[in-house]
Amino acid sequence: MKKNKMKKVSKEELIKKANKPAEDAMKMHPFYKGKIEVTPKSCIRSYDDFAIWYTPGVASVCKDINKNPEKVFEHTNKGNMVAVVSDGTRILGLGDIGPEAGIPVMEGKAMLFKYLGGVDAFPICLNTKDPDEIIKTVMHLEPCFGGINLEDIEQPKCFYVLDELRKRMNIPVWHDDQQGTATVCLAGMINALKIVGKRMSDVKIVLLGAGAANIRIGTLYMKYGAKPENLIYVDSKGTLHKGRKDLKNHREKWHMCEITNKNQVKGSISDAIIGADVLSAASTPGPDVIKKEWISSMNKDAIVFATANPIPEIWPWEAKEAGAKVVATGRSDFDNQVNNSLGFPGIFRGTLDVHAKTITDEMCIAAAEALAKYATKKGLNENYIIPLMSEPEVYVEEAVAVGLKAIEQGIARIKLSEKELRKSAEEKISRAIKDTKLRMEKGIIKKYHK
């Protein structure tokens, strides 16, 4: 059994630990001046090879694509390139801090794409907040990219932007704050329910927060078998129910008002949580956003996902003391980290390998099941319900599951066997890891000295 890391520490130690990454970031970002760069992937045996890669040789390749547009995937890197697009309006919960201030986040996302999934991703921060301008601009990017990752766009426009781009584009468009968060939370929930011996179709689920993440989390829970009537959403003004006329102009929230909360529970989180089996929170950073007495009012063997960053809505040991059986947070220094980085690299790897035209809910569920299955094979316990980011094999498993589901649904441009999908994912992911390590060893990536 894994050692339980959720021990009590002093407030001063917690603050120091929480501040350490920020302190290091302020030193290391200017040292490296960003986190990604472009390097050649083809051989350059001599300067004569430029006649092959550029003019005159490249003209024959251009003409071939002109005659057969689908050959763009064969002749170029389009099938492995993803645009990480943001307007800077909701950067890491910091709010609207602008596109320039969002670049470090998008670069970091691109780095994770490459190292964990072998995907070439590029930050594209747009100097507009107009949703229609965002849609128009992203559509113009389609020729070069095999997929689009929307990131840190404020709600409710993030729903509109995603929906419209998915309708209009012939490549997968994904909003990680929605689909990525939901996929990883579902994976953790599948195994958490195994630990407590409950079924998705039976449990009462309270979702604290009704933003982009939790709206999608609840949607995917329902897709996986949770009954809408067993869900209750709570936002800053209270529970979502049919009497919340203030939400009629918010399509997604109003939809949840109409289909969830069968008993029309009104009031605050303290009213909604009584007798709940699951609390799935994606709300305000804590601590003390969730009170211990609220957890105590839940059913026996309760599950608590407190995913706010950098501080969860309640400290995990406090949730345990209050009676929770399984607790997950968004932090790597506690057990059961529910982190988007477990999702998008492997999901896009599988999506790109079959040149899929979109990413469906069923593909997200396939990824969640692959994550859950991997952790189950390793050995589940209440402190290990989801794989760690440091287990690279899990991204291969996700990629295979997602690619096969895309083929099954008829949205893949090419069909690969399970063996071929596995080989492709293993090669691309291991190449990315080896390349980074080799460049560090050779001093091409300079070592940072404090």
The distance from CA 164 to its chain's CA centroid, rounded to whole angstroms, is: 20
DSSP-H helix ranges across 316-417: 316-321, 344-353, 361-379, 393-408
Q: What residues form DSSP beta bridges with 152?
A: none
**């289909």: which residue's tokens?**
259
DSSP helix/strand/coil, 341 = helix
Report the C-alpha gap between 392 and 345 in whole angstroms.
10
| Cα separation, 227 vs 205, whole angstroms | 9
Q: 7-30: string of b/e by CB count within 10 Å (b at 16+)? A: eeeeeeeeeeeeeeeeeeeeeeee
Q: Annotated active-site positions, please?
A: 54, 109
Structure tokens at 75: 């002749």
Tell me which DSSP letter residue 412 carries: B
Structure tokens of 201?
């179709």
Nearest Cα residue to 163 out of 367, 411, 358, 364? 358
- Give the three-class secondary structure for 249: coil
